[in-house]
Amino acid sequence: MEKIIELRGITKEFDGERVLNSVDLYIRDNEFVTLLGPSGCGKTTTLRIIGGFVTPDEGEIYFDGKKINDVPPYRRQVNTVFQKYALFPHLNVYENIAFALRLQKRPEAEISERVKKMLELVALKGFERRNATLLSGGQQQRVAIARALINNPRVLLLDEPLGALDLKLRKDMQNELKKIQKQTGIAFIYVTHDQEEALSMSDTVVVMANGVIQQIGTPTDIYNEPKNAFVADFIGESNILDGIMREDCKVYFARHLFTCVDSGFMKNEPVDVVVRPEDVDVVPTERGMLRGTVTSVTFKGVHYEIIVDIDGFKWMIQTTDFEPVGKEIGLYIEPDAIHIMKKSEFSGQFGDYSTFSDEMDELSNPVPEEE
């Protein structure tokens, strides 16, 4: 597929603070790309640069191979769904959606035809005359999407569009957005800090931190083969341990030599080892590769989340069997459950689960960034 948007070496500073550092990225036609990262990672700035609301300090941005650094937003074939919808309070639903077409002075019949089609697409038939800003959050969201799509943009930018909706509605809208993207065949660039959202909707996920792209890949790649400790920690739960690559497919960590499936490291190279909580099997102590004591159990519905202390390192394990606090259990890890990463600037920042609590988890799930 063809590259429709390309960023090359994009750098941006606000008040002397570097929010984007040499970002290279391309988006292809028809693609659903998600920019994922914690607040302040530069994802919204990247989106605003593509939309034309922010001019990069360095680097080029191309649209269909043409440089568009100096093209203002109103001349770009890109439309945006804003974080807080940004519906015009002085116009009703119909006029909000018709806004772009009215500017182009399209004939009334065409406008009415296209608005009707859009209202059908976002399932808001019969809402034409309603006051846009008095609708529910989910309905306003749909109006915003219809308004942005009516102009047949080549690319739709979505800035945390579901951030203000409750969980149930968010799930519905995720499916609907995905459906709309398939139906229209427009490239979507979607900004979110919600990793679940990113994994379930995207063709490609771009993980960002500190103004730098950490990894670009399919959701499965990003989850199964995180490039560094930041990605591993940000996407899903993970136990990240210091390890040493003894030789190809042999890694030493937690005072045990494990067989793994990774190779291509130097002999005795220090590495970060990722083990996902759901990939660890709980077994009787005598059969365990590792042995530890359960220090906390939380019921999560589908599974229990238990914290196991092994030589002072707190592992998180997800298991369907209840294990009481204080019990000694054994852990068994299959070779393909172990993922080896090169050491990076993030090594050591994300350790074990000794300070873990649901409250902390809430805290580290950032609120949408304001810029």
Partner 1 sequence: MRAGSLRRSVAAAPHLVWSVLFIIAPFLFILYYSFTDKDGSFSFSNIADLFTWDYLSIFLRSISFAVIATFICLLIAYPLAYALSRMKAHTQGVLIMLIMLPMWMNLLIRTYCWMNLLETNGLINTLLGTDITFLGTGGAVVLGMVYNFLPYMVLPICTVISKIDKSLLDAADDLGCSPVRTVVKVVLPLSLSGVISGITMVFVPSISTFYISQKMGGGSFDLIGDTIERQFMANTNYNMGAALSLILMIIVLISMAVMNRFGNEEGEIIA
Site residues (CB under 8 A) for partner 1? 51-53, 72-74, 78-80, 82-84, 86-92, 95, 99-100, 103-104, 129, 131, 147-148, 151
Nearer to partner 1, 48 or 227 (CB): 48
Nearer to partner 1, 150 or 199 (CB): 150
Nearer to partner 1, 75 or 179 (CB): 75
Q: How far is the CB of 60 from partner 1 (least distance, A)?
A: 21
Nearer to partner 1, 129 or 255 (CB): 129
Q: How far is the CB of 162 from partner 1 (least distance, A)?
A: 16
Nearer to partner 1, 84 or 291 (CB): 84
Nearer to partner 1, 131 or 218 (CB): 131
Query: SS3 string of the chain?
Result: CCEEEEEEEEEEEECCEEEEEEEEEEEECCCEEEEECCCCCCHHHHHHHHHCCCCCCEEEEEECCEECCCCCHHHCCEEEECCCCCCCCCCEHHHHHHHHHHHCCCCHHHHHHHHHHHHHHCCCCCCCCCEHHHCCHHHHHHHHHHHHHCCCCCEEEEECCCCCCCHHHHHHHHHHHHHHHHHHCCEEEEEECCHHHHHHHCCEEEEEECCEEEEEECHHHHHHCCCCHHHHHHCCCCEEEEEEEEECCEEEECCEEEECCCCCCCCCEEEEEEECHHHEEEECHHHCCEEEEEEEEEECCCCEEEEEEECCEEEEEEECCCCCCCCEEEEEECHHHEEEEECCCCCCCCCCCCCCCHHHHHHHCCCCCCC
